[in-house]
Amino acid sequence: MNEWGRVKKVIVGIANRARYVPDDIGVREVNYADRPVDQPIPTGEYSQSIIDEANEDLEDLANIYKQFGAEVVRPVEGDVEHYLYCPRDNILTVHNKVIASPMTLNCRKNESKFICQVTDDLTEEIYSIEDYNMNCIMNKNILATNNYKPMWDAANVLRAGKDLLYLVSSTGNLAGANQLEKLLGLEYKVHIIKDVYSFSHLDSTIALLKPGVALINPSRIKDKESLPPAMRKWDLLRCPEPIEMGYASPEPMMSMWTGMNCVSLDEQTIVVQSTQTNLIKFLETNRFTVIPVSMRHQRSLSGGPHCCTVELERDYNMEHYFDAGY
């Protein structure tokens, strides 16, 4: 599997019954380490207007895939503590495996069973206080997760055939990278990227657009030395400054750089949030076809077109792309 082959079958999330993550030790360490523990965080249900408008946008996104000839499936609405809006957070597809990642937040561990049937369920382990690093509070240089056991979100991973790019951050520890590599076997190589973004997932930092070409967040990827050695032959397109898209939640749940969260339908066609006109023009200048989609609550619900989808089938070749001289 890769990030750019023509999509044949895809899961598109739903916003039904979306809630803010509950206030517990894991959420404090992973999502809110930038504030004192006695400072309140948003909790409870999202407003119905946010949910309704998000579902309208997700339906438009699903229709884009259908018009492109892909089969679209949706999660089954279920009683989850957070939401089913971002299936990419939970599910990783690699060749013939559909993996439910052992997510870093206990409150999100049952989401995968409502998203799709998985072949490898790694989510049963419940974390306790020693699995989190209390010293990360007010210190962004310390990651929230220790290495006592594997903890990683599927959205910490990008795929390029037999090569996988794995971000070490507060939502993915080194033990998780080792677990993934053992699960996939010797045929695959998990390339570690670290010290570029400590907070969360990889897809607002790098997008693999086609063989040998990646879109990068220049505020995090300063130069090719920030990347694993095997990937340094790739052409790096520096994402232009994102455009403010606003938010309807009490505070934004993601940085402005969620604006570069885009998803490829094939090697030439990319879906981009419609407010990001700078990025759209930039990609078109680089000879990509761009399909804009409205994601009105991207910063409120923490997910753009890439986060809200996960491919079950793409056209792909089983080869190593990072060291192939692209």
Q: What is the pTM of this model?
A: 0.95
Residue 271 has pLDDT above 70, yes or no: yes
> How distant is the alpha carbon of residue 301 from its chain centre?
13
So what's the pLDDT on residue 323?
78
64 has pLDDT over 90:
yes
How far is residue 212's CA from residue 316's CA, in Å, rounded to a whole number?
15
Decide if pLDDT at 326 tops 70: no
Average pLDDT, the chain: 94
Residue % of the chain over a pLDDT of 90:
85
User: What residue type is assigned to position 147 of the chain?
Assistant: N
What is the average per-residue pLDDT within 162-168?
97
**Distance (Å, whole) CA 156 – CA 170:** 10
* pLDDT score, position 235: 96
Average pLDDT over residues 177-192: 95
Supply the pLDDT for residue 125: 79
Write the pLDDT tens digit of every residue in 1-53: 999 999 999 999 999 999 999 999 899 999 999 888 889 999 999 999 999 99
pLDDT score of 308 more than 70: yes
- The mean pLDDT of 278-285, rounded to a whole number, is 98
Q: Two tokens at 206?
A: 């790098």
Whether residue 206 is predicted with pLDDT greater than 80 in this model: the reply is yes
- Confidence band, pLDDT 50/70/90 cuts, at residue 141: confident
User: Residue 214 in contact with residue 236, Cβ under 8 Å?
Assistant: yes
Identity of the highest mean pLDDT range in 109-118, 135-144, 232-241? 232-241
| Residue 325 pLDDT | 58
Q: What is the mean pLDDT of residues 71-91?
A: 95
Walk me through the domains of the chain, giving residue ranges and CATH numbers.
Answer: 7-314 (3.75.10.10)
Tell me the DSSP string of 192-258.
EE-SS--SS-STTTEEEEETTEEEE-TTT--SGGGS-GGGTTSEEEEPPPPPP----SSS-SS-GGG
pLDDT at residue 292 is higher than 90 = yes
pLDDT reported for residue 118: 77
Distance CA 176, CA 103 (A): 10
Catalytic residues: 153, 201, 307
- What mean pLDDT is predicted for residues 163-189? 96
DSSP bridge partners of 236: 214
Euclidean distance between CA atoms 148 and 205, whole angstroms: 27
Can you give the pLDDT at residue 324?
A: 66
What pLDDT score does 190 carry? 97
Q: Using CA atoms, how far apart are residues 278 and 92, in angstroms rounded to an integer?
A: 30
pLDDT digits (tens, 9 = 90+) for 97-135: 999 999 999 999 999 999 988 777 676 678 888 899 988
